[in-house]
A and B are shown apart, each in its own frame.
Chain A
Amino acid sequence: DQQVKQNSPSLSVQEGRISILNCDYTNSMFDYFLWYKKYPAEGPTFLISISSIKDKNEDGRFTVFLNKSAKHLSLHIVPSQPGDSAVYFCAASKGDSWGKLQFGAGTQVVVTP
């Protein structure tokens, strides 16, 4: 049962423009959400997170938005840079789960010049 879903397998965006990645979840018990970035031949790298008590968290060019009523979160990257080309995974966790993360299938982002 896939409880975290990323419905867009790929996204192409021009350098300097905004990248918006979307993620939906079904389990209302999730209370912590994260985005990871993965380059080929490397493990995922933690990017940004948000607790369910917040609706926005910003870190430099990266902002995560959480809409609990819609069970939806999004990652905005502004401005997009060529080095942002990677696979982005959305992940979620429940407070009592000791850090067990449930991941979406990922979105491949390609930033074109």
Chain B
Amino acid sequence: DTGVSQDPRHKITKRGQNVTFRCDPISEHNRLYWYRQTLGQGPEFLTYFQNEAQLEKSRLLSDRFSAERPKGSFSTLEIQRTEQGDSAMYLCASSLDSRPYEQYFGPGTRLTVT
């Protein structure tokens, strides 16, 4: 299967700890997106990469959040000093340059901050 993969699928952490999530996009896709989804809501855009360049960041992405895509392939999303409000599903998606709106999503990483 060559879909978008995310690791880990679930993460439980204590408030104040740092966490890092990984996303592996579909190999030929050079656009990569991070979204966050809370219960009863649709995904909310966090940030977007075209190859290794981070081109847009949402105001939702506070200075505790950082995302990288060092070689234009996989991406990591790090949350420092986690807070209970960070508990959510973190979704990664990828797309082709020619069809940016048709995004293929991974299964997500569910973060629980206790």
Contact = CB atoms under 8 A, between A and B. Distances in A.
Given A99-B31, A99-B33, A46 B103 contact: yes
B104 to A, nearest CB: 7
B56 A98 contact: yes
What bracket does the count of chain A residues touching chain B fall in? Answer: 20 to 34
B48 A98 contact: yes
Interface residues of B, number: 26
Contact of A104 (B42, B48, B102): B42
Nearest to A36: B105
Interface string A49-93: 100000000000000000000000000000000000000010101
Contact of B102 (A4, A46, A98, A100): A46
A41 B107 contact: yes
A41 B6 CA distance: 12
B104 A46 contact: yes
B56 A100 contact: yes
Contacts of A9: 40
B105 A44 contact: yes
B102 A102 contact: no
A53 B103 CA distance: 21
Interface of A: 4, 6, 9, 32, 34, 36, 41-46, 49, 89, 91, 93, 97-106
Interface of B: 4, 31, 33, 35, 40-45, 48, 50, 55-56, 91, 93, 95, 100-108
